[in-house]
Structure 1
Amino acid sequence: MRNKFLDYLHREHARLEAAIADAHRYPVVDSLAIASLKKQKLLVKDQIESWTSDMRAEQTGGSPWLQQ
């Protein structure tokens, strides 16, 4: 289940990156829309890092909450 969700997050991150690139191709760029996409992309990236960290901690037997 965790790997499927992590795969979904990676796909969503790539989709947002492509949407940002597409938005920059048009002569009239909606800066608010691009800013929103970038914010969403950053949130997804943070989720990926969090899930990856949790998975590593589980594999090594440690708790991500106790790391210093």
Structure 2
Amino acid sequence: MEKVRRLRAMSSLCRQQAAYNSMNKWKLLAEAEYWDHLADLELSSHFRLCNAIASNEIEQPQAITNPE
């Protein structure tokens, strides 16, 4: 989750710079979108991994006993 925070911070910095740099505004906004996209990918990857781990915990096989 720390990586997502850093990627969002990079996006925020680009947006702040775009507000003060009209010559490179569109380039900086595009870069901010890129950082947001990377953060979204990282976040979805994290939750996919969490869900996979959680589903493995739920679906653990139970011991079968033979009543004889």
Q: Shorter-normalised TM-score: what interval?
A: 0.5 to 0.7
Q: Distance in 1 between matches of 2:23 and 2:44?
A: 30
Instruction: Could you tell me which runs of 5 or more consecutive residues in structure 1 were left unpaired when the two chains were aligned.
Output: 1-6, 63-68
1:14 aligns with 2:8: yes
1:55 is the counterpart of 2:50: yes
Which structure 2 residue ranges, 5 or more long, are not aligned? 58-68
Q: Distance in 2 between matches of 1:18 and 1:26?
A: 13
**% identical aligned pairs:** 11
Which protein is bigger by CA-based radius of gyration? 2
- How many residue pairs were aligned? 56
Residues 52 and 29 (structure 1 numbering): CA distance in 2 closer, same or farther, change over 3 Å?
Answer: farther
Cα 1:27/1:39, change in 2 over 3 Å: closer
Runs of 4+ in structure 1 displaced over 4 angstroms? Answer: none
With normalisation by structure 2, the TM-score equals 0.59
Task: Provide the TM-score with structure 1 as the length reference.
Answer: 0.59
Tell me the distance in 1 between the aligned counterparts of 2:45 and 2:23: 32
